[in-house]
Chain A
């Protein structure tokens, strides 16, 4: 059996009284892309955010269950969320570059984690920008404001920023849904590249995108996983009727 790089066991998420995730267990294999699909409001973002304890920042959210990474259950009170979030990076739907230069956006995370050496930082910045296929577009203006980049470039910068702290897993919540087709294609290409080094979990509403980039797909419905299988299987021959209805657009 292959060792899993990230395992969620029986996750429940409550917002106050309301249960948004009702017992989800998923394994994410190393160097694979897993797509989370499902209708709006079914809890994909909520689940994704519980994987790196991002729901801690929401006052009334309560997450129970186990999340295992590197042989450690990170969904426990005593866990150092700083170290954990270094291991599990995140990218959002709307690009959220800091109001700083391109260089500083990338150097930001490594600085937190104690890297002060200028040469080392230079190296990390170049490396991450190359990996995000952004180096050629930005190498002449590393010290200009990141806000001057286009939306697609900003998103790739946010991806570059997240890999600068050397995570094992990258969580992406609809990373391309605010982008134009060309930028979307670039981001998808980038995901396929990054998959060689990282475990990627991506939420998407775009069925074609899920089919193109992912190895496995989980179909969420009303806070539960209805079906989780290899992507080809889900898209060609799903076992559940609900999955079939959803991916063929016959839903609701």
Chain B
């Protein structure tokens, strides 16, 4: 079919060229797509591999070594090298939960108050001095926290409370320092992002600054603040080194906060080197790792849920 020559000349020329040379923007588009696809693939494969590896090892305990799930989760005695090995992980689960919960309880009010101060009360000083200090806190390696805990917090606790000073309390305090930057940073972002109109609306009704902060600012940003706390908790839950240095590492549920205890992570790092790959003891440690992984998923879901509420 003949087309009107003049009108389509331009388009035809372009079409001809396209057949010979691929246009640059098409190439760019493809390079971008392929590159991002590769990145995603690497990520997904890595995560998938980790989940698979941990699960397959962790589940061996139940399948091959004949330990029951309730025995692991509910058992009070951990003695894998005994003649009749015992795999009760409850003391570790208890240790992990109590240290990270306590850490969040200590760090959440501090972090949120610091964020309120930095964004609502003294934004100038907050931005210039406090924020860098808190970012610095986030960059300190965990072994340093552990060391400070061991040489400052543990002796202090020992002199005030009965016991050795090591234990859940010391672990929680060290962890609270470590997660403080997470909570503060997320809270600061949330508070700074609050629209000025809401605060003005409250002031215009005759509210004072404090009333505005605790009746409008905090409730409106609560989901975001909680997201920070949960992320902080999940960091505390996964931290091994610093806790291990101050908690004492005895496999029992302690009778007080100042008695030696253990967490899931500390027992894994302590025992992993002393076991043979594929042995029942080694597999049991993988089961503990599986519990950690499951908890991570729980934390992620909680955060997701909170994010959804935030965007409501």
Which A residues contact B (CB, under 8 angstroms)? 52, 54, 57, 81-86, 89-90, 92, 94, 96-100, 108-109, 112-113, 145, 147, 158, 161-162, 164-165
Contacts and interface: CB of A to CB of B under 8 A. Distances in A.
B208 A82 contact: yes
A100 B219 CA distance: 9
A172 to B, nearest CB: 11
Interface in B204-234: 204-208, 211, 215-216, 219-220
Interface of B: 195, 197-208, 211, 215-216, 219-220, 312
A112 B205 contact: yes
B203 A54 contact: yes
Name which of B195, B205, B207, B208 has the most chain A CB atoms within 10 A of its CB: B205
B119 to A, nearest CB: 14
21 contacts: A54-B200, A82-B207, A82-B208, A83-B206, A85-B203, A92-B200, A92-B201, A94-B197, A96-B195, A98-B220, A99-B198, A108-B202, A108-B205, A109-B207, A112-B206, A112-B207, A147-B312, A158-B201, A162-B204, A162-B205, A165-B206
B207 A96 contact: no
Contacts, number: 63
A186 to B, nearest CB: 20
Contacts of A94: 197
B204 A54 contact: yes
Nearest to A105: B201
A127 to B, nearest CB: 16
Nearest to B215: A108
Contacts of B312: 145, 147
B206 A98 contact: no
Given A82-B208, A92-B197, A112-B211, A99 B219 contact: yes
A112 B220 CA distance: 17
A145 B309 CA distance: 13
A165 B215 CA distance: 17
B220 A99 contact: yes
Nearest to B221: A99
Contact of B204 (A52, A97, A99, A147): A52
A83 B211 CA distance: 14
Nearest to A147: B312
Residue in A52, A84, A96, A109 with the greatest tally of chain B CB atoms within 10 Å: A96
Nearest to A89: B204
A165 B197 contact: no
Contacts of A86: 205-206
Given A98-B220, A99-B219, A99-B220, A109 B206 contact: yes
